Chains A and B, each alone.
Chain A
Amino acid sequence: MHDVLRTRVNDFAVKLANVNGTGSASANGLLMQAIFRMGIPVCGKNLFPSNIQGLPTWYEIRVNKDGHSARALDYDLMVAMNSQTYQQDIKEVRPGGYVLYDSSWPLDRDLHREDANFLGVPLAEMCNRNFGDPRERILMKNIAYAGAIAAAIDLDMDVVNALLEEKFSTKKALLESNHKALQLGYKYAKDHFECPLPFRLEKMDGNADKILIDGNTATALGAVYAGCTVAAWYPITPATSVMDAFKGFCEQYRRDPETGKNNYLIIQAEDELAAIGMVLGASWNGARAFTSTAGPGLSLMNELLGLAYYAEIPAVLVDVQRVGPSTGMPTRTQQSDVLEAAYASHGDTRHILLFPSNPHECFHFAVKAFDLAERFQTPVIMLSDLDIGMNDWVVPRLTWDDSYRPDRGRVLTAEDLKNVPKFLRYTNEDENFVAARTLPGVSSKGSYFVRGSGHNKFGGYTEIPDEYQEVMDRLKQKHAASAKFVPEPEIHRREGAKFGIIAMGGCDPAVREAVDQLDRQGTPADYMRVRGFPFSEVVQTFLAEHEFCFVVEQNRDAQLRSLLTLETSVPKEKLKSVLVYGGFPLSSRHVVQGILSQLKTF
């Protein structure tokens, strides 16, 4: 008996194969949100093509009562709605699993599998019979399969109906159609199959203090709470929704009730060269400003990131990473901008990086990014990725401390300047090697010339080796000092751990699950998730404590491992790699297999 046939509650995975542009996203989102509202830990991954309409697209929903939220690679139920990909999709169902398909047309005999159960629902036929408008027939097919799935997995129909009511509260006609389609699928499944299937849902209380949010929305919200007023950007997948959300929040929160004027300005730039330029100009003038982009944009921004680093201008950049190089795969996820971000621009440069692992951290790290950028007068790059940025995640509720005030760093006011005999831009640095800056428009006494050309500590032009080096040396010390201010790594220890695992960002759920699985198999490991660069002492200590470590990351060239070997004293051979970089989010299986296969060879 396949284990899938054993009754399993709140622990299974569904994959939905669709055609993009047909409206499947809203049906899939509805299922995910309904499960969330039932209080059950759930994760949804949208695996979509770089295309508007017609190409295959998939959505995966994993339900896990223990809260594991990485991708599951074993699908108990495949909802095969795209005949183009039937063959591949049907193959992916685990033995004993189920395939739900549109039986309006017979399924090719070759596609049948002895070890899988086929649930045919005549979706097109039912929708054609019940709806007149051709577009509606296509759209409602999605809601109809959602209804069938609801019956199959015991989804609480009251919850689904309530969601539909909320969604279509102002569109009565649409609400009716949706209800009707949902019922069609639901009833058909109830009448024709043994519902629920052996795996099913059951209400829990797992989400009381949780929200369902994507990382880009959370990042934008962080920028609003940080007090950012200027944003400049160029449209790019998967970062566009950061600015879309920022705009939405600004319209909601930043329109002055008295004057009707906007307490923000968002500029859609002509390209990323200009977007980062605008951020520098605004930051130079004392506003909190940021840009969001992805790899191709980061490449263009390299030039002015060097200027910002050298001239010591704050800048916040959110890089929602996607698959590179070049255009790569714009709708697929990767962690492949790490090295480029760390050392962006020509010459000796190094930047502060933040690695959020989920939308909750996106919110808080976005705020942190502004504080660090101003405190250290330098660019801060937050490395999110497509998986974090564009998928909805179940995360703890966001909290806000009303006593928070922005850390504007060392800025001299007109009053301060009165007490300074002469303002010299890069002198009189504090314990973190940061010199005070002045803002334009405040006082002539504070005026100085920002330049990307060689300058001495007084801010004057120089071509004298010692003067040039003095500034460069301080910049290096300043960067090193920021290690104490970036978020500390998160460390999870296991008793009897023989080695360590290191990861960053969106690898976290898969690695945590893998650590559990390894432990159960008698291979306990300590896990450290780095959350910022430069690396702190804690990172160094973790490396020293372990005989060897596996660095799990989503790129080909082991970029985090490279950064660790470059920036700590860890011997190269102590760090092994587990690399998964095909563009889909990580699963614990990748990690466990990657580690076990290497352990065998020791």
Chain B
Amino acid sequence: MPSIVKPSATHPTLQRNALDLTIRDYEGTMSTLCAGCGHDSITAAITRALWELATPPHRIAKLSGIGCSSKTPTYFVSGAHGFNSAHGRMPAIATGANAANRDLTYIGVSGDGDSLSIGLGQLCHAIRRNVRMVYVIENNGVYGLTKGQFSASSDIGSKSKRGEANRMSPIDPVRLALTLGASFVARSFSGDKEQLVPILKAAFSHRGFALIDVVSPCVTFNDHEGSTKSYKHTRKHTLKATESDFVPPEKEILANISTNGSTSVAMHDGSVVRFTAVPKDYDPTDRNKVVAYLDNQPVGECVTGLLYIDPGSSEMHELGNSSATPLCELPYEKLCPGSSELERLQEEFR
């Protein structure tokens, strides 16, 4: 992953966020992925979402595993600390990082190989612990860096570039997350930035684990006829279950209730996620209904949107009753019981 530094010139008319930073300040080095890779669009969406949220770059921690997807954290927010770890191990490293410092904004970027095969166990347990982080799966149904093997998210019947059809059932991260009790579950498409950016913003506001499965076509190994993760196939088969809108805390909520039904969900930080154009009876806060809705869609349809949200769930630190001050910032004096206590304690060892 050679890094190519972008020129630092910024156009004077570029818009600035609340921190007086332009979107250029949220970019990273140049992407070295294939031209047209879905992942680059996701990178652009992440960049935009963090810029719009005006998250201080140095308060962002970006983590990844191994694979094409896992290269992407270098392509956004250069001012953030990054951790490109080992294949499938990002969830554990993010969990430990979050354990030490609960105050940073965590984003993990992974892929279908990294998350659904080698790292499946760690993903499941990060969900169970409800580690506060945004977890993006850049899902292309294929192993790119090793040149085109099926991944665990390949659909039955989807064809490889050489024409071989996958016969094993796929692991769907959305259903997996719902089953495991995830508190924020969404799916989007790399080609739909308008949908993805608000989902990302809502995810960053979520106090808990936010899983976003983003179908992200691999132009080199999985964009052909017969693939169910190609641009063409995804565009044709996308079914939007929700359109969500993210309203930051300081903005006044303008009433814009769709006739088709609308739901507003208040987030912990005072922001609001507003769902518009929700199909009748679709309640993104009712897990059973969401699962039932997904079960009732025709096979092969790619249901997108912010599908489920539970803003009241307890995240890892709440479950562990850990200190409000990040553990890494506690002064040593608070941590060491001292010599006289050691002296006293040892009476118990006699």
Which residues on A are within 8 Å of B, measured CB to CB? Answer: 36-37, 207, 211-213, 221, 224-225, 227-230, 232, 253-254, 256, 259-267, 269-271, 273-287, 289, 303-304, 307, 397-402, 404-406, 438-444, 446-453, 460-463
Given A397-B346, A447-B78: A277 touches B327 (CB 8 Å cut-off): no
- A230 and B99 within 8 A (CB): yes
Bound form: Cα–Cα A229–B345 in Å: 20
Smallest beta-carbon distance B7→chain A, Å: 17
Residues of A within 8 A of B129 (CB): 267
| Min CB gap A57→B, angstroms | 24
The verdict on A253 contacting B321 (CB below 8 Å), with A211-B346, A229-B100, A441-B81 known, is no
A440 to B350, CA, bound (A): 44
In contact, B122 and A274 (Cβ under 8 angstroms)? yes
22 contacts between A and B (CB under 8 A): A211-B349, A225-B342, A261-B322, A263-B323, A267-B95, A270-B124, A274-B89, A278-B95, A280-B93, A281-B100, A282-B99, A285-B97, A289-B100, A397-B346, A399-B342, A401-B339, A440-B61, A444-B80, A450-B81, A450-B82, A453-B1, A462-B2
Let me know if B254 is at the binding interface, CB within 8 A: no
Instruction: State whether A281 touches B94 (Cβ < 8 A).
Output: yes
- Does B257 make an interface contact (CB < 8 A)? no
Q: Inside 8 A of B99's CB, which chain A residues have their CB?
A: 230, 232, 265, 267, 278, 281-282, 287, 289
Q: Is the CB of B96 within 8 A of A271?
A: no
Contact B332 A259 (CB under 8 A): no
- 10 A-B pairs with the lowest CB-CB distances in the bound complex, closest first: A281-B96, A277-B92, A278-B96, A444-B79, A287-B100, A440-B81, A281-B97, A285-B100, A274-B92, A281-B93
Say how far A466's CB is from chain B's closest CB, in angstroms: 15
- Measured CB to CB, the closest approach of chain A to B322, in angstroms, equals 5
Task: Kindly identify which residue among A263, A279, A442, A443 contacts B327, using a CB–CB cutoff of 8 Å.
Answer: A263
B299 interface contact, C-beta 8 A = no
Q: Does B121 contact A (CB under 8 A)?
A: yes
B268 at the interface (CB under 8 A from A): no
A444 is contacted by which of B58, B338, B345 (Cβ under 8 Å)? B58
Contact yes or no, B322 A287, CB < 8 A: no
CB pair B350 A282 closer than 8 Å: no
B264 within 8 A of A: no
User: Which listed residue (A287, A400, A452) contacts B84, Cβ 8 A?
Assistant: A452
Q: Is there a chain A Cβ closer than 8 Å to B179's Cβ?
A: no
A376 to B349, CA, bound (A): 34
Give the contacting residue for A282; candidates B2, B96, B124, B346; CB below 8 A: B96
Question: Contacts A227-B335, A281-B92, A447-B81; is A460 near B86 (CB within 8 Å)?
Answer: no
Q: Is the CB of B84 within 8 A of A450?
A: yes
Is B317 in contact with chain A by the CB < 8 A criterion? yes
Besides A277-B122, A286-B328, 19 other CB < 8 A contacts? A229-B328, A256-B323, A259-B324, A263-B322, A263-B334, A265-B320, A266-B320, A273-B89, A274-B125, A280-B96, A281-B92, A284-B93, A287-B328, A400-B338, A406-B332, A444-B57, A451-B83, A461-B2, A463-B2
State A285–B329 Cα separation when bound (angstroms): 10
> Contact: A304 with B2, CB < 8 Å?
no
Question: Contact at B58–A269, with CB atoms within 8 Å?
Answer: no
Bound complex: CA of A211 vs CA of B84, how far in Å? 46
Q: Are A277 and B79 in contact (CB under 8 A)?
A: no
Taken residue by residue from 5 to 27, chain B's Cβ proximity to chain A (1 for < 8 Å, 0 otherwise) reads as 00000000000000000000000
B314 at the interface (CB under 8 A from A): no
Report yes or no: B83 in contact with A450, Cβ–Cβ below 8 A: yes
Residues of B within 8 A of A452 (CB): 84-86
Q: How far, in whole Å, are A396 and B125 apart by their CA atoms in the complex? A: 42
Encode B48-80 as 1/0 by CB contact (under 8 A) with A. Answer: 000000001111010100000000011000111
Q: Measured between alpha carbons, how far is A462 from B3 in the docked complex, in Å?
A: 9
Indicate whether B341 reaches chain A with its CB closer than 8 angstroms. Answer: yes
Interface residues of B in 286-340 (CB under 8 A from A): 316-317, 320-324, 327-330, 332, 334-339
**Chain A contacts of B328 at CB under 8 A?**
229, 282, 285-287, 439
| Chain B nearest CB, measured from A418 CB (Å) | 13
> Using Cβ atoms and an 8 Å threshold, which residues of chain A touch B336?
224-225, 227, 404
Decide if A285 touches B101 in the complex (CB within 8 Å).
yes
With A253-B341, A263-B335, A400-B339 as contacts: A37 and B330 at CB distance below 8 Å: no
Q: How far is the CB of A488 from chain B (nearest CB, A)?
A: 24
In the complex, which residues of chain B have a beta carbon less than 8 angstroms from the beta carbon of A276?
92
By the criterion CB–CB under 8 Å, are B342 and A261 in contact?
Answer: no
B103 proximal to A (CB < 8 A): yes
Interface string of B190-219 (1 = CB under 8 A from A): 000000000000000000000000000000
Task: Please tell me if B228 contacts chain A, counting CB pairs below 8 Å.
Answer: no
Cα A43 to Cα B15 in complex, Å, equals 74
CB <8 Å contact, A441 and B327: no
A405-B332 contact in complex given A212-B349, A287-B101, A449-B82, C-beta closer than 8 Å: yes
Q: Which residues of B contact A262 (CB under 8 A)?
A: 320-323
**Across the two chains, which residue of chain B brings its CB closest to A403?**
B339
Q: Which residues of A contact B121 (CB under 8 A)?
A: 270-271, 273-274
Q: Which residues of the partner chain A approach B154 to less than 8 Å between Cβ atoms?
A: none
State the B residues within 8 Å of A (CB): 1-3, 56-59, 61, 63, 73-74, 78-86, 89, 91-101, 103-104, 121-122, 124-125, 129, 316-317, 320-324, 327-330, 332, 334-339, 341-342, 345-346, 349-350
Q: How far is the CA of A265 from the CA of B330 in the complex (A)?
A: 13
Give, as a whole number of angstroms, the nearest-CB distance from B19 to chain A: 11
Given A259-B324, A274-B125, A281-B95, are A212 and B350 neighbors across the interface (CB < 8 Å)?
yes
Question: A262-B321, A400-B342, A461-B2 are contacts. A447–B80 as well, Cβ < 8 Å?
Answer: yes
Interface centre among A275, A283, A400, A438 (most CB of B within 10 A): A400
Question: Which chain B residues border A405 with CB–CB below 8 Å?
Answer: 332
Contact: B61 with A277, CB < 8 Å?
A: no
Closest to A397 in B: B346
CB of A499, distance to nearest CB on chain B (Å): 38
A169 to chain B, nearest CB (A): 13
Residues of A contacting B82 in the complex (Cβ-Cβ under 8 angstroms): 447-450
Partner of B101, one of A36, A286, A453, A462: A286
State how many angstroms separate the Cβ of A399 from the closest Cβ of chain B: 7
What chain A residues lie within 8 Å of B79 (beta carbons)? 444, 447
Chain B residues near A446: list those with CB within 8 A: 58, 81
The smallest beta-carbon distance between A501 and chain B, in angstroms, is 31
- Contact in complex: B81, A304 (CB < 8 Å): no
The answer to whether B327 touches A229 (Cβ under 8 A) is: yes
How far apart are the CA atoms of A232 and B63 in the complex, in Å?
19
Residue of A nearest to B94 (CB): A281
Residues of B within 8 A of A266 (CB): 320
Give the residue name and chain of the B residue nearest to A37 (CB): B350
Collect the chain A residues with CB atoms within 8 Å of residue B59's CB: 441
State in angstroms the CA–CA spacing of A118 and B342 once bound together.
46
Q: Are B97 and A440 in contact (CB under 8 A)?
A: yes
Contact of A264 among B56, B94, B322, B329 (CB under 8 A): B322
Q: A438–B58 Cα gap in the complex (Å)?
A: 11
Kindly list chain A residues whose C-beta atoms are within 8 Å of the C-beta of B341. 253
Q: State in angstroms the CA–CA spacing of A460 and B254 once bound together.
A: 47
Q: Are A265 and B104 in contact (CB under 8 A)?
A: no
| Also in contact, A36 and B350, with CB within 8 A (given A277-B95, A282-B97, A285-B100) | yes
In the complex, are the beta carbons of A448 and B96 less than 8 A apart?
no
For B324, the closest partner residue in chain A by CB is A261
Query: What is the minimal beta-carbon distance from A331 to any residue of chain B, in angstroms?
Result: 23
- How distant is B10 from chain A, measured CB to nearest CB, in Å? 16
**Per a CB cutoff under 8 Å, which of A278, A307, A441, A462 touches B58?**
A441
Contact B337 A443 (CB under 8 A): no
Q: A397 contacts which chain B residues (CB < 8 A)?
A: 346
Contacts of B329 in A (CB 8 A): 286
B204 to chain A minimum Cβ distance, whole angstroms, is: 16
Given contacts A211-B349, A274-B125, contact A460 B320 (CB under 8 A): no
Least CB distance, B23 to chain A, in whole angstroms: 16
CA distance A399 to B56 in the complex (A): 45
Q: Of all chain A residues, which has the CB nearest B78?
A: A447
Contacts of B124 in A (CB 8 A): 270
